[in-house]
Amino acid sequence: MKKIFSILFILLFTSNISFASTDSATGEVRKGYLGTLPDVTQRFDKQRSELAKPAFDNVPTFRDKNDLKPVPRDNPAYIDLIVKKQKLSPYTTDINDAIPLVESMIEAINHKLNIQKFVARVNAFNDWMTYFKQKYKDKPEAYYISFQKLVEIDFQSHYLATIKYESQLYNPYLPYGGEGAMYSPKSIAIQEKALLNELEKTLVILKEVN
């Protein structure tokens, strides 16, 4: 037993570890670990330096911002093709093609163009409508009000162009009574006014399609 106490006594005086000591200035007894810790500051400073280092080098060939050309916002092609947020649907594109055809028939009636010019404009519209109806007849677009209005004026314009053309052929031979009444100037004027009214309504609807 004495041998064990002797060994412990020697260790306490030969080791750097101390569990209690007295402050020479204040006389206060300090407890706890009072040994010397290893200096790890340099090791952690090195790790922080390595973490802060970029994972890639600077690219010396990157263009200076002063060399970049300004965005061509005054260029119509840029505005139409790049900036535009949404592209036109195929249906809207077709409607845009229909608008000048409808306007041409309105112009023919308002300016009282001769029958040949009126019939030519109506035929151009009717031919386009053949393509248009075939393209959308089995699609949801066929239920749009714009589609329905175009179908209506397709029929009306074709009917008016037909009776106008035939009136030149048959008027000398048919009285304006009975079957010939449809070719009378009064009947044609009524049909013409009705078509003009529908053309103008349809044009407003077409211009609202987007």
DSSP 83: I
Distance CA 41, CA 60 (A): 35
More confident of the two residues 39 and 186? 186
Residues 12-30: tens digit of each pLDDT: 444 444 444 555 555 555 5
Query: Where are the chain's structural domains?
Result: 90-207
- Do 205 and 192 touch, CB atoms closer than 8 A? no
Distance CA 102, CA 153 (A): 9
Residues 81-122: tens digit of each pLDDT: 444 545 679 999 999 999 999 999 999 999 999 999 999 999
Distance CA 139, CA 135 (A): 8
> So what's the pLDDT on residue 93?
94
Distance CA 171, CA 108 (A): 22
Of 60, 85, 82, the C-alpha closest to 72 is 82
